[in-house]
Amino acid sequence: MSITKVTQHPTQNEALIFERSQTGRVGYRLPQLDVEETPADDLMPAEFRRTDDLEGVPEVSEVDVIRHFTRMSTWNFSIDLGMYPLGSCTMKYNSRLNEKVARIAGFLNHHPLAPEDESQGGLELMYRLQEDLAEITGLPGVTLQPAAGAHGEMTGVMIIRAVLDKREGEASKQRRVMLVPDSAHGTNPASAKLAGFTVKTIRSTPDGFTDMDHLYELCGEGGIAGLMLTNPSTVGIFEKNIREICDAIHDAGGLVYMDGANMNALVGVARPGDMGVDVIHLNLHKTFSTPHGGGGPGCGPCCCTVELEPFLPTPKVVRENGGYRLEYDRPDSIGRVKAFFGNFGMMVRALAYIQTHGDTGLREATEAAVLNARYIAHYLEKDFEKPFEADTMHEVILSHKKQARKGVHTLDIGKRLIDYGFHPMTVYFPLIVDGAMLIEPTESVGRQELDAFVDAMKSIAKETVEDPDLVINAPHTTRIGRLDEATAARKPVLRWSPDMESTAKSA
Amino acid sequence: MRYIPNSKEEQSEMLGAIGLASADELFRSIPEDVLLARKLEVTRPLAENEVITSMETFAAKNEAAVKTSFLGGGVYSHFSPTVVDHLIQRSEFFTSYTPYQPEVTQGTLQYIFEFQTLVCQLTGMEVANASMYDGSTAMAEAFLMAHRVTRRDKVLVAETVHPEYLEVAETYTQHGEMQLETIGFDHETGCVATEGLAKIDKDTAALVIQSPNFFGCVERLNDLADMAHEAGALLIVVVTEAVSFGMLKSPGECGADIVVAEGQSFGVPMSFGGPHVGMFACRQKYVRQMPGRLAGVAYDKDGNRGFVLTLATREQHIRRDKATSNICTNQGLIALAATIYMETMGRRGLQEVAYHNAQKAAYAAKRIAELDGFSIAFSAPFFNEFVVTAPSPAKDILRRLSSEKDILGGIALSGYYKGRENDFLVCVTETNTREQIDKLVAALG
C-alpha cells in the first residue's frame, strides 16, 4: 500500500517567519507602564522617530515561535546526533554541565562596567583560566580577550609586530615578511595582513612536513618577521623538526606564532612553549569544548612567552594583594581588540571543562582523540589514498585519488556520508592535497560508531565502483538536495522581501 | 572520564588492533625532547557537583550582579523572553557547526537569513551579514571597509562613540594606511560639534557617528549624512543600544552607508561583557566589500528552496590575504538568540519595549533634575540613557550608592572624558521599576 501525501508535512516545509506572519499576532507581554507618560513629542521629537511602523517585521505568537525554530532545528545535523568528523574543527561533546554553570545568575546578570571590587568572582575565574592555559601551553602570558580563532591570530601577529617595532625601531620596516605554510588555514594570511605583514608561502615536502630547505632559503632572503605554523599541521602530522624550525626563525630575527587549532592532539602530552613557540592562540570552541553554536561564539585566547607578555591587549586581569583587578596601564600593549574582556561565557565553560577533566582527564582526552583518528586511518588506508605516511595525530587526511578515476570526487563522498547518518568530513582542505578529506573523530566517539563510520566509508568506496551515480547524486535522504550555489552567488538574494522568490528564480 | 565513550579495555583492544602496545606509542612522532614528562599542574578531576560548587563560589563574588542597576554604556539589562534561552539550547542549534554543508544545516542557514532580513529592516539598510563578534569589532571592520570602498585614508570619528569601540578601531587600523581623527562634541547639546565637521574633506573615507551616542544623545543623522556625502565620504552609523531601533528613525532612512550595531539588547544576557553579537549592514552596492558570512537563497534541482552561504569569494578561506576580513567563526548562536528575540517581540513588541525604555528614562531624568544641585548635562533628545551632572564628584556618589543602598547608579564619565568629574551616565530600561527609580532619586537627594 502506498500513502499519497496531499501536502508536505509542516515540519519539512516550515516557511520563513515573514511568510508566516499574521497581522495582530503577539508573542510577548510587557508589564504595565508604571510611570507617568511624557507626551510623545516631548519624549522624542517627531523628526527623530521612525515613520515606517516597522513594516515587514513579523507578527507571530509564542507558539508560532516555538514551532518555527523547533522545526528548523530538525534540519540540522548536530554533535548530539552523532559523529561530526570535521577535520580541524574538533567537534567534541559539549557538556550540559558547562551550559548550566555558564547560566548561573551571578555570571549572566553581571555588567562588565560594574566596579572591579564587586566583580571579583568574574575576574578570579578569568585569572584561574589564564593560569591553566599557561600551564597547558607552557606559555605564561595569557589574554582571554579575542573572540574567536582568527581574532586570536590577529592578536598574536600584532604582538609580533609590536615586539619587532619596539626592538628595532625604524629598522623594523625592513622586517615585514610573515612566513605561512601552503597548508595553513586561510585565516593565517588574512590575519597577517591586518598586522601589516607581507605573506610568503613555505612549501610542504611530499611527505607532509615543512620543507626545511625552502624555510632556510626564505630566511636567507631576509626581512623575516615571523612564522605562522599549525602544529600538528593541517594534514594531522606533528612537525618533527619543530625545534629546528623555531631556531631557524629566531636566528633570522623573527618570532614563531603557532595556530592552536589542533591543540586537541597535544594537551597534556606536549607544550608549544617547550618547542620554541613564542605565541599561540587557542580555540576554546575546539579544544576546550565550548559549543560551536552553528558558527560561534568562539573564544580565542593568546598565550605567549614572558618576553612578549607586555605586548598583550589591554586590559589584563592581574592578581594583587589577594584580589584581582584589571590592568590598564600597559604602555607596550597592542591595544584593545574587543570591547570589555572577551566572550566571558565561553571562559566559564572552558574552565568547567578543565575542572571536570583535571590533570589526568586532559591527557586521557588527547590519547582517546589520537587513538580514534589512528584507528580510522588504519582501517581506511586501503580503500582511500592516504597521501602521507607519517603517523596520524588527532585527524587523518585521505584523498579522492582512487575514486576520482570513476568520476567520484571528495564532495560526493562527503555528501554520501550524510545518507549513512554522518556529517561530511572537512572537504578540499588543506589545499595542498588534491581532493582532500580531513577526518577528525575527536575523543567523543565510541568504538561502535567508529566502526560504523569505517563501514560507511568502505561501502561508499564500493559504491564508487559499482554504482558511481548513487554517490554523485547524494544525498538522497535529506529534505533538500544539493543546492545550486553558482546561481545563488551570481545574483544573490540575501534578505526576504515579498517578491524574493521571483527575483531569485530570475537569476 | 565520563565524556569519553570508550572504556580503558576498549581502548586497549583498539591499540592492539592497530598494532600499538600502549597509549604512549600514539605519540612516537613527537620528538622526545618536547614531550611533557610530567602531569599537568591543574586541578585533580572534579565531580559534577564539585564543579557546580566551584562556579557558584565565583559567581557569588560578583556582588554587583544582584544590585539594582542603572548601568548601560554599551551593555544593557533587558528582559529576555523565556523562549529565547530555551530554543538556543536545542542540541541541533548549539552543537552544530558553521553551515558549510547546506543539506544538513538548513536550520542554521534559514535563521541566518531571517537574522539578515531583520537587521536590514531595523537598520533601514539593504544587506546585512550573518554577524560579527560584537559592536566594537563590527565598527573596526566598517572602517576597513570604508577604506576599501573609497580608497581614502582618513576616518573621522565622533568622540562620543563608545570609548572602548574607539580603542578597538585604533588597534585594528594601526598598521595600515588609515588615520583616525576624532571630532569633539558640543558641550551644550551633547551631540557632535559642528565646527569639527569642517575636517571632512576629499581624503575622508568615512564620518563615524554613534546614535544614540555614548551620552545617550540622539544625533541629527540626516544632516551628517549630507555633509559626508558632499565630500564623497561614507556615513558609518554605530548603535550600541539596539532597542532604540524600535523608536528612532532608522540610520538607513537618514542616509547611512554602513550601519554597525551591538545586538546584546535583543535577548542576550550581559554575561560580564560577552558573548554578544555584532550586526553589520550596508548598501547593496557595497556588498562585495563586506566582511563576514552571508546566507542567500538557492534552489536544488527539483526546485526546492533552501539557503546557502554565498559570495564566499570575499572570504579568507578562498582569498587568503586578499580577503575582505580575517573573520571566520562569528557569533552564530547569539545571532540566533537575537533573531528569536526580534521575532518574539515582533513588529509591535519592538516598538512597545522601546517606548517603555524612553518613558522610564524620561521619568527618571525629570525626577533627578528636580534634585538640588543635580541637572541633566545635555539638551539633545535622549533614548534610555542620559548624563547627570552632580554637585560633587560622581565617583564618590556612585560608590556611596552602591555600598549604602545596593544601587549601581551609573557610569562615572571621569574615566572617559576630561573635565567631567561630576558627570555620570544613567541608563533606565524596561526592567527598572518605578520603585527602583524612586529609590535611586531618593538616594541621590
DSSP B311-331: -GGGSHHHHGGGSS----S--
Domain boundaries, chain A: 123-355
Question: How do residues A397-437 score in pLDDT, each as one tens digit?
Answer: 999 999 999 999 999 999 999 999 999 999 999 999 999 99
Q: Half-sphere exposure of residue A425, counting CA atoms within 13 Å on the CB side?
A: 28
Q: Which residues of chain A have pLDDT under 70?
A: 1-8, 506-507
Q: How confident is the model at residue B313 (pLDDT cuts 50, 70, 90)?
A: confident
Kindly tell me if the per-residue pLDDT of B220 is higher than 60.
Answer: yes
- pLDDT-above-90 percentage for chain B: 97
Evaluated on CA atoms A319, A322, A325, A328, the torsion sign reads: negative
CATH number of A123-355: 3.40.640.10
Which residue do the cell numbers 578570579 mark? A124
Beta strands A255-260; A141-143: pairing state: unpaired
Nearest to B271 among A345, A445, A488 (CB): A345
Alpha carbon distance A7, A15 (integer Å): 14
Q: Do B272 and A112 touch (CB under 8 A)?
A: yes
Any B CB within 8 A of A104 CB: yes
| Stretch B267-295: mean pLDDT | 97
Nearest to A51 among B60, B98, B249 (CB): B249
User: What pLDDT does residue A502 have?
Assistant: 78
Provide the grid cell at B155.
Answer: 576616518
Output the furthest CA–CA distance in chain A (Å, rounded). Answer: 83
Distance of CA B321 to the CA centre of its chain: 26
Interface confidence, given as ipTM, is 0.98
Q: Return residues 153-172 of A near B (CB < 8 Å).
A: 153-154, 158, 161
Report chain B residues whose CB lies below 8 A from the CB of A298: 329
Q: What is the mean pLDDT of chain B?
A: 97
* DSSP summary character for residue B377: S
B188-203 residue pLDDT tens: 999 999 999 999 999 9
> What residues contact residue A241 under an 8 Å CB cut-off, 6+ apart?
A209, A210, A212
Output the pTM of the full model.
0.98
In CATH terms, B82-340 corresponds, of 3.40.640.10, 3.40.190.170, 3.90.1150.180, 3.40.50.150, to: 3.40.640.10
Question: In this model, does residue B169 exceed pLDDT 90?
Answer: yes
Closest-approach residue (CA) in chain A for B126? A495
- pLDDT at residue A4, rounded to an integer: 62
User: Which CATH architecture best describes the domain B63-80+346-444?
Assistant: Alpha-Beta Complex (3.90)
Task: Output the pLDDT for position A7.
Answer: 65
Nearest residue of B to residue A443 by CA position?
B4
Q: What is the pLDDT of residue A507?
A: 57
pLDDT score, position B316 = 85
The pLDDT value recorded for residue A2 is 57
Helix, strand or coil, per DSSP, at residue A303:
strand
What are the structural domain ranges in chain B?
63-80+346-444, 82-340
Pairing of strands B234-239, B258-262: parallel
pLDDT tens-digit readout, B111-127: 999 999 999 999 999 99
Selecting from A50, A293, A358 the residue whose C-beta is nearest the C-beta of B249 gives A50
pLDDT in tens, B331-371: 999 999 999 999 999 999 999 999 999 999 999 999 999 99
Low-confidence winner among A498-502, B106-110, B206-210, B324-328 (lowest mean pLDDT): A498-502
Q: How confident is the model at residue B319 (pLDDT cuts 50, 70, 90)?
A: confident
Cell numbers of B179, please?
588615520
Report the distance separating Cα A136 and Cα A143, nearest Å.
14
For residue A271, which residues of chain B lie inside 8 Å, CB to CB?
A: 34, 36
Q: What angle (nearest 5°) sits at the alpha carbon of residue A81, between those of residues A457 and A464?
A: 20
pLDDT of residue A501: 80
Cβ contact (<8 Å) for A504 and B297? yes
What's the grid cell of residue B210? 554613534
Record the cell numbers describing residue A133, joined without a space. 592555559
